[in-house]
Amino acid sequence: MDAEQYKWLLNGREYLCSIAKQFLQRRDVREAGSAYYFMMPAILVIGTFLILPLGYAIFLAFHRVQILGEISYEFTGFRNFLRIARDDRVWIALKNTVEYVAIVVPAQTILALSLAVILNSQIRGKNWFRVIFFLPTVTSSAVLTLIFMWIYNSNGLLNGILSRIGLPTYNWIGDPAVALKSIMLMNIWSTAPFFMVVYLAALQDIPVSLYEAATIDGISKWKQFTHITLPLLKPVTFFIAVMGTIGTFQLFDQSYIFSSGSGGPNNSTLTVVLLIYQYVFKSLDLGYAAALALMLAIAITIFTLIQRQLFQTNSLD
């Protein structure tokens, strides 16, 4: 390198250093740097426990993993995803999960709204009712499942009540036709109180003057509910529908306890998350289980986008 080239490189380095110094001295850059400095703990936690596991799951979905002995990875491309289309148990689990979501989410939303409207009215002892209704939410899911297994027993409380009033009894746990329905009933009862509290807070934020003006105009209570209350509750209903959909798609513990991890009887309580668990801990097929998990995430995203389109209008009708 001759002297002229060296001088050109030296001048270029000095020019770049001056530009970098001016850039770092800008106020917006310094403020952004300070902001990221204070966010660093949250960024580290999110990156460690969310971003890295997500990236690793995507990596596993495209590999065949051998975890016995020395861990090895074999790239398989889209073979795990193609296998999903040929797996009959996947379609059974998906059918059960979609049926569960389609029934539980609307039912728990309607029940939560009904309870919130009742408790928001001027009834005696409403504070005690709020505490009583909220008790299932603060109770362990595993404990609730064991209690309901006792209630659903062939000689349990529910069949005893049904036989006393002359109604037919069922094998709530062992009959494939009603096993999933029994889990639905339990979850509607246990999850609605939490969403009831959310609805109750939203109802108390609605200005009373709107109802007073409607009453003066001679509008009935039902029309006030359908034309004032429901439109103003659309953002809250969207939140409840999305959270309910995500929670129901991830049904695992109740189905696992009811069926002892098998998804029975006759795969009637098999869900997608329980199937993922079986492939990971029983078949040791991590790659295929990761592909199933990505499929579930895509399904939840699609349902969320559909709900967003349904609830995108937030103004009064």
For residue 238, is pLDDT > 70? yes
pLDDT score of 317: 44
pLDDT score of 312: 74
* Average pLDDT of the chain to the nearest whole number: 85
Angstrom distance (rounded) from CA 236 to CA 242: 10
Q: What average pLDDT does this structure show over 205-222?
A: 88
Domain 83-310 annotated CATH 1.10.3720.10: yes
Nearest to 106 by CA among 183, 191, 201, 173: 191
pLDDT, tens digit, 9 for 90 and up, residues 71-87:
888 999 899 999 999 99
pLDDT score of 268: 92
Q: Is 120 helix (H, G, I), strand (E, B) or coil?
A: helix
Please tell me whether the overall predicted TM-score, pTM, comes out greater than 0.85 for this model: no
* DSSP codes, 257-297: HHHTTS--STTTT--HHHHHHHHHHTS--HHHHHHHHHHHH
For residue 7, is pLDDT > 60? no
For residue 249, is pLDDT > 90? yes
pLDDT, tens digit, 9 for 90 and up, residues 266-276:
999 999 999 99
Angstrom distance (rounded) from CA 267 to CA 271: 9
What band does 314 get if pLDDT is binned at 50, 70 and 90?
very low
Q: What average pLDDT does this structure show over 87-113?
A: 94
pLDDT score of 8: 53
Angstrom distance (rounded) from CA 238 to CA 234: 6
